[in-house]
């Protein structure tokens, strides 16, 4: 079987390719170029804009070295337009609405498991493979499903909750049963010098680390406005642009004009984009951040489920502990999640709810609204 591995120039994908080759597959690497800083006006907040070589090209040449060491062919594909159209435009539109999107989730859905897979098929490959920490298995009906990886600290199923059942079946996940230290050990054993001690990629998917407020100002203007303290509903200062804050944010708020008893300990509670107001609370009023249920849209299920009211666990953020909940299925790809035992803090519209039964990933959706005591908390 011919398999095209998404070879990113990092250690995880390198070892994924090695393991598949060791298992007897006919393996090639595929490097994706998805971001062009100059063409995409990525200047403000970009710490690498003055470098002689852009980070994507550094990653490409690291992937070239890996392919040489593993003795596999390396193909290169350009999805800059697809990334802008299907991932980044949505990312910006969500921020303009005052929401907080997760581009990594939609990069998986539209680029790695769609554009890249179609490219692989066009080149004669049967399947693709990725260096994600996720385990491929089957449910009780024999359908291919994703399960949490053996390395729970690195498990990335959260970011895979929007891919379809067909996309799940199209891919191998060779790192599902090993942990990160073993990946590093194998890379050293194979003398993969370009990646064996390379730091994991961080920041926005395929874009990288950015000074985020400045980065967003490349695409949306900074407009200062009022900061209002809840529950007193008292104006206490000014913000630098309501788009640039995240629900639950505590550090780096940069609130100006704060004096006296109101100093310190602020948390972002909600954002009023229309009136350009940022609402915050103090530590003693953090209950304002909590909700007991939420609506989700774009519900993606990766296989069949039994019933309309299902006991599940949910992650509202990557690395968050699983939260027990009841999934109430609704019409048109919508659902409600009712948290089972206690309120949950900083459930944020625009972000992703990844839904599990035990270790099995059921799928996920986009958080639309949050509720507490029968009333909405996000407006």
Two tokens, residue 61: 């040449």
Q: What is the pLDDT of residue 210?
A: 87
Q: Where are the domains of the chain?
A: 2-131+174-213, 221-288, 289-376
* Res. 101: pLDDT tops 90: yes
Q: What is the pLDDT of residue 103?
A: 94
Of 27-31, 283-287, 357-361, the least confident: 283-287
Confidence of residue 300 (pLDDT cuts 50, 70, 90): very high
- Exposed, middle or buried by CB within 10 Å (0-12, 13-18, 19+), for 166? exposed
Q: What is the pLDDT of residue 161?
A: 98
d(C-alpha 134, C-alpha 149), whole Å? 4
Contact of 321 with 308, CB cutoff 8 Å: no
Query: In the Cβ-directed half-sphere of 336, how many Cα atoms lie within 13 Å?
Result: 10
Q: What is the mean pLDDT of the chain?
A: 93
* Mean pLDDT calculated for residue range 270-291: 94
- CATH architecture assigned to 289-376: Beta Barrel (2.40)
Contact of 346 with 248, CB cutoff 8 Å: yes
* Mean pLDDT calculated for residue range 295-315: 94
* Single pTM value for the model: 0.94
CATH fold match for the domains 2-131+174-213 and 221-288: no
∠ CA(23), CA(26), CA(30), 5° rounding? 110
Does the bond joining 231 to the residue before it have cis omega, within 30 degrees of 0?
yes
* Res. 78: pLDDT tops 70: yes
- Exposed, middle or buried by CB within 10 Å (0-12, 13-18, 19+), for 233? exposed
Indicate which residues carry an active-site annotation. Answer: 107, 205
d(C-alpha 268, C-alpha 242), whole Å? 10
* Mean pLDDT calculated for residue range 328-343: 94
Task: List, for residues 197-252, the tens digit of each pLDDT value.
Answer: 999 887 788 888 888 889 999 999 889 999 999 999 999 989 989 999 999 998 88
The CATH superfamily assigned to 2-131+174-213 is HUPs (3.40.50.620)
Under CATH, what is the fold of the domain 221-288? SH3 type barrels. (2.30.30)
Task: List, for residues 34-56, the tens digit of each pLDDT value.
Answer: 999 989 999 999 988 888 788 88
Q: Where are the alpha helices (DSSP H) in the chain?
A: 11-22, 55-70, 80-83, 89-96, 103-107, 116-122, 165-169, 180-189, 212-216
* Mean pLDDT calculated for residue range 284-310: 94
């Amino acid at each position: 079987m011919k398999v095209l591995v998404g070879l990113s120039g990092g250690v995880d994908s390198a070892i994924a390719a090695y393991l598949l080759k060791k298992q007897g597959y006919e393996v090639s690497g595929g490097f994706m170029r998805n971001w062009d800083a100059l063409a995409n006006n990525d200047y403000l907040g970009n710490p690498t804009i003055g470098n002689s070589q852009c980070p994507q090209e550094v990653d490409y040449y690291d992937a070239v070295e890996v392919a040489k060491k593993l003795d596999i062919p390396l193909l290169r594909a350009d999805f800059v337009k697809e990334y802008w159209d299907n991932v980044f435009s949505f990312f910006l539109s969500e921020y303009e609405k005052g929401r907080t999107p997760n581009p990594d989730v939609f990069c998986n859905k539209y680029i790695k498991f769609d554009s890249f897979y179609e490219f692989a098929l066009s080149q004669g490959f049967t399947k693709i493979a990725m260096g994600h920490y996720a385990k491929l298995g089957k449910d009780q009906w024999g359908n291919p499903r994703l399960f949490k990886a053996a390395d729970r600290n690195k498990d990335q199923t959260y970011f895979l909750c929007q891919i379809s059942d067909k996309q799940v079946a199209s891919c191998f996940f060779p790192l599902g049963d090993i942990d990160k230290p073993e990946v590093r050990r194998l890379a050293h054993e194979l003398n993969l010098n370009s990646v064996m001690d390379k730091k994991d990629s961080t920041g926005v998917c395929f874009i990288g680390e950015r000074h985020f407020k400045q980065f967003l100002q490349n695409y949306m203007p900074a407009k200062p406005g009022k900061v209002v303290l809840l529950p007193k509903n008292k104006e206490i200062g000014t913000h630098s642009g309501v788009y640039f804050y995240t629900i639950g944010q505590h550090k780096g708020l940069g609130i100006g004009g704060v004096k006296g008893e109101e100093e310190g300990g602020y948390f972002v509670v909600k954002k009023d984009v229309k009136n350009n107001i940022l609402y915050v609370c103090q530590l003693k009023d953090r209950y304002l951040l909590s909700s007991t249920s939420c609506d989700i849209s774009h519900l993606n299920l990766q296989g069949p489920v039994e019933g309309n009211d299902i006991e599940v666990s949910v992650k509202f953020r990557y690395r968050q502990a699983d939260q027990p909940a009841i999934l109430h299925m609704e019409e048109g790809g919508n659902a409600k999640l009712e948290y089972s035992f206690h309120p949950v803090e900083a459930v944020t519209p625009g972000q992703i709810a990844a839904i599990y039964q035990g270790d099995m990933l059921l799928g996920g959706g986009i958080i639309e609204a949050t509720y507490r005591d029968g009333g909405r908390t996000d407006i």
